[in-house]
Structure 1
Amino acid sequence: MELIDEDGNLFGAVNVVDALAVCLVLAVLVAGVAAVGTLGASEETETDEPHIETRYATIDLGTQLSSTADDISVGDEMAHDDYPHTLTVTDVYATPVSSSEAHVTVRTEIEGTQFENGTYAFGDQEFAPGQNVSIDTGEYAATGGIDAVEDEGTDLPRTETDVLLETTLSPSAAADVRVGDEVTFGDDTVATVETVSVYPVSDEQHRVFVGATLTTLERGADLRYGDAPVESGSVIPLSTADYDLMLDVLETETIEETGEPATTTVEIDLEKLSDREASLFEPGLTETAGGETWATIEDVEREPASVVVESEDGQLHEHEHPTRDDVTLTVELQTRDTELGPRFKGDALNNGDTVYLDFGVTSVEERVWIVDD
């Protein structure tokens, strides 16, 4: 049989032109499949291979000497010796702990390697929350813990938080705490004292309430000032040019004590005072601390103290003491009115409670009886 007959049919059955067209279509299909297969392989290879990616990390560098903390600034860069990796500081948050130390948190931009299994690395070490990392720029070296690694965000999430703080100080130390005091680091103010109340509670101690506005960092649902959580029961450092204090957090989102300012009148009974002791009390005497008056003597009643004497026949007789007097003080207290009753010097005030009052020339620590509130 002839390969192509006189009618142009291949093997006498298929037209040559038709056969060529079929071959051309098959060739195109095969080439397309090959191209798709090659492209797919290329994309898979590109996706699966480790590659450089940018991440943003929050790193807690802990408490550093102030000299080191001063050196840490935006723009500091560390390049890895063996990998095309870099770490650049994009934000710095520092809170003084004392006159010589500060707690430092930084935000950094990282150029590291992303692996197909989800691991991200700086150099040959995994770079993830909970890991430690050392920052060595040549000018300083500091090691800290990684708090977060994220896809974006060059700045640390700051917010302003009001807190009510409390501590007990000597009278001279308490006098140093004033409204307007600022805690600063570099050019940044990280805490401002908004209110101060100073209450004498003994001859050598004053109770101090401080309302302050703190620049805090958001860490998930929590707020932190330095490394201290801003919540009731936590301890916050306030370090200014005049003092280094550690204060307990009483409340958050307020700079004022509970309740509204009010006055409460009380009576105080003082028994068997000598003439000299009794003569020290007079109307108009005040207890003053922190520039505020907390108690004022409104009235003084004085009468001879009673003494019981047994007669020769065994009978008991009450007589006036020849040298001792009983004194009743009527005192107006500056209190705070709450739904649960008055509060004085930060504590609830009830009948029979013992309070300390320092009138300058003399002091008392006795039970009080509420006359009105």
Structure 2
Amino acid sequence: MESIEESSGIIDDEGNLFGVVNIVDALVVVLVLAVIVAGVSLVLTAGSDSDSSATEGTTNVTLDLGSQPEYVISQISIGDSYSPAGDSTLRITDIYVTPQGESTRAVVRAELSAPRSEDTLQYNGAPPRYGRQIEIQTDTYSATGTIREVGGSSEVTTTETEVLARANLSETEARQLSAGQSILVDGREAATIESVTTYGTENPDKKTVFLGLTLQTLSHNDKQEFGETTVRAGAGLSLPTDAGLIEGEIIRVGTTSQRGQPATRNVQLQVSGVSPLLAESITPGMTESFGGETTARITEVQRENATVVIRGQEGDIYERDHPVQQDVTFTANLSVRETEAGVTFKGQTLQQGRVITLDLGTVTIRATVVSGYQ
């Protein structure tokens, strides 16, 4: 009976566990198992930490693609995507195009998807920093853009900016412009012509045209941009129209009108020492008109022989009538604008002695302002 109890103990007299395994060997096995369990736990914990520090993220950027040929511009579409690496993707979400000289400038908004590490997106191995260049490659085109904005919405932010521009055009070009016309670039509206005012010049084939425009501008660094132009007075402006490419200059920003209020003035003008043929060609009722708008109308005309100064044999000075040439003094009703600085005609201030040009259809004259300009 006693031998049965001894043999049924946990550890027998020979140090065997349950009479089968040596206790020392059992402790070694337990230690090895503990090490294995700890290692597996460490690996799983490390894997879990790695996954939490490299999660997927997205952000929106503005990419300036610069000047692009028409065949590239026509291929760029919303939804175009490109993956430079297996964990990074770019998708175009909005497009903005403007004329830039004889080519077109493209700016796009794009969504970048990539791993995020410590709140920083790692697109194709680096953060999307300002100034970084990013490629876009599709089956139909390839382009490279510079990051100029990070974050924000998925759409390009544009503003309607009113300007008044001046351009010198041929008569044919001027006649093809009218209020309400839309200026399209790749089928997208880049500007709208709000008003057209046309004046004659010394060259009967050339016109000075004032265009009131609403531009779809891009906001950047608290400034408005149209193509490569920062919108400001004195800046150049290129517009593709039905009349061709118009090269002009911005005169005013924030309005489509010339300065002052429209009015009419009867101004006395004079041309001196002209031939009898030219003098006789200036008659009441003649007008400078374009597109149904009258700029000037002659109402009264006076002619007299021009005077010349001669010196006698004794050195005396005499004033005599010229045998051929004539002086013509006439009154013209002019379409002017009254400003705080004075009265303007064709964008220039009227002053005594100032020379203005009138294109009267059959004749173009340069006349000197005598009175009536105030």
With structure 1 as the length reference, what TM-score do the two structures score?
Answer: 0.80
Contact 1:235 1:248 in 2 (8 A): yes
Partner of residue 18, structure 2: none
Question: What secondary structure, in the 3-state scheme, does the structure 2 residue paired with 1:276 have?
Answer: helix
2:22 matched to which residue of 1? none
* Cα distance, 1:79–1:294 mapped onto 2, change above 3 Å: same
The CA distance in 2 between the partners of 1:316 and 1:129, in whole Å, is: 78
Matched, 1:60 2:64: yes
* CA deviation profile, 1:31-67 (whole Å, cap 9, x unmatched): xxxxxxx9xx989946983432101011011111111
1:264, 1:370 within 8 Å by CA — same for their partners in 2? no
2:71 is paired with a residue of what secondary structure? Answer: helix
Q: 1:316-355: CA deviations, max 9, x gaps?
A: 5544333332211111211100011111111222111111
Counterpart-to-counterpart distance in 2, 1:326 and 1:168:
31
Contact 1:176 1:243 survives alignment (8 Å): no
Q: Secondary structure at the match of 1:124?
A: coil
State the match for 1:268 in structure 2.
269
Q: Residues of 1 paired with 2:298 and 2:123: CA distance? A: 71
The residue aligned with 1:239 is: 240
Verify the 8 A CA contact 2:343 2:373 in the aligned structure 1. no
In structure 1, the residue matched to 2:198 is 198
In the TM superposition, what is the alpha-carbon distance from 1:372 to its structure 2 partner? Answer: 5.0
Q: Contact conserved, 1:237 with 1:244, CA < 8 A, in 2?
A: yes
- Verify the 8 A CA contact 1:198 1:206 in the aligned structure 2: yes
Match of 1:144 in 2: 145
Gaps in structure 2 of 5+ consecutive residues: 1-41
| Secondary structure of the structure 1 residue equivalent to 2:331 | strand
Residue matched to 1:17: none
CA distance in 1, matches of 2:225, 2:92: 20
Q: Using a 3 Å threshold, how does the CA distance of structure 1 residues 305 and 232 change in structure 2: closer, same or farther? A: closer
Q: 1:229 maps to what in 2?
A: 230
Aligned mates of 2:317, 2:65 — CA distance in 1: 78
Structure with greater Cα Rg: 2
Aligned residues of 2:134 and 2:145 also touching (Cα < 8 A): yes
Counterpart residue number, 1:208: 209
What code does the residue aligned with 2:243 have?
D
Kept after mapping to 2: 8 A contact 1:97/1:239? no
Conservation of the 8 A alpha-carbon contact between 2:176 and 2:242: no
Match in the other structure for 1:352? 353
Q: Is the 8 A contact 2:173 2:243 kept in 1?
A: no
Equivalent in the alignment of 1:106: 108
CA distance in 2, matches of 1:133, 1:126: 11
CA distance in 1, matches of 2:63, 2:308: 74
Secondary structure at the residue paired with 1:277?
helix
How far off its partner does 1:126 sit? 3.7
SS in 1 for 2:372: strand
- Distance of 2:191 and 2:113 partners within structure 1: 34
Percent of residue pairs bearing the same amino acid type:
31
- Residue in 2 that maps onto 1:368: 369
Q: What are the superposed Cα offsets for residues 212-245 of structure 1, whole Å, 9 maximum, x if unpaired?
A: 1112222242222233222222222211233111
Sort the Cα spacing of 1:319 and 1:143 in 2 relative to 1 into closer, same or farther, 3 A.
same
Q: What is the deviation of 1:98? A: 5.9
Displacement after TM superposition at 1:172 (Å): 2.9
What does 1:1-373 align with in structure 2 at a 5 Å threshold? 45=49, 49-80=53-84, 82-97=85-100, 101-116=103-118, 119-150=120-151, 152-203=152-203, 204-308=205-309, 316-373=317-374
1:144 partner letter: G
- Structure 2: distance between partners of 1:307 and 1:68: 68
Q: Is the 8 A contact 1:120 1:128 kept in 2?
A: no
Q: What is the Cα-based RMSD across aligned positions, in Å?
A: 2.6
How far residue 207 of structure 1 moved from its aligned partner, in angstroms, is 1.6
Say how many residue pairs are matched: 330
**One-letter identity of the residue aligned with 1:357:** L
Q: Is the CA contact (8 Å cut-off) linking 1:196 and 1:209 kept in structure 2?
A: yes
Gaps of 5+ in 1: 1-37
AA aligned opposite 1:104: A
Name the CA shift for 1:314/1:242 in 2 (closer, same or farther; >3 Å): closer
Cα distance between partner residues in 1 of 2:192 and 2:215? 7
User: Which letter does structure 2 place at the counterpart of 1:202?
Assistant: E
Does the Cα contact within 8 Å between 2:268 and 2:371 map onto a contact in 1?
yes
- What is the CA-CA distance between 1:302 and the residue it aligns to? 1.2
The question of whether the paired residues in 1 share the 8 Å contact of 2:271 and 2:366 is answered with no
Matched residue of 2:178: which SS? coil
Q: 1:52 to 1:198 in 2, by over 3 A?
A: same
CA distance in 1, matches of 2:317, 2:248: 56
Moved more, 356-365 or 190-199: 356-365
Cα pair distance change 1:308/1:238, threshold 3 Å: closer
Q: Post-superposition shift, 1:187?
A: 4.2
**Structure 2 residue identity aligned to 1:343:** T
Secondary structure at the counterpart of residue 122 of structure 1: coil
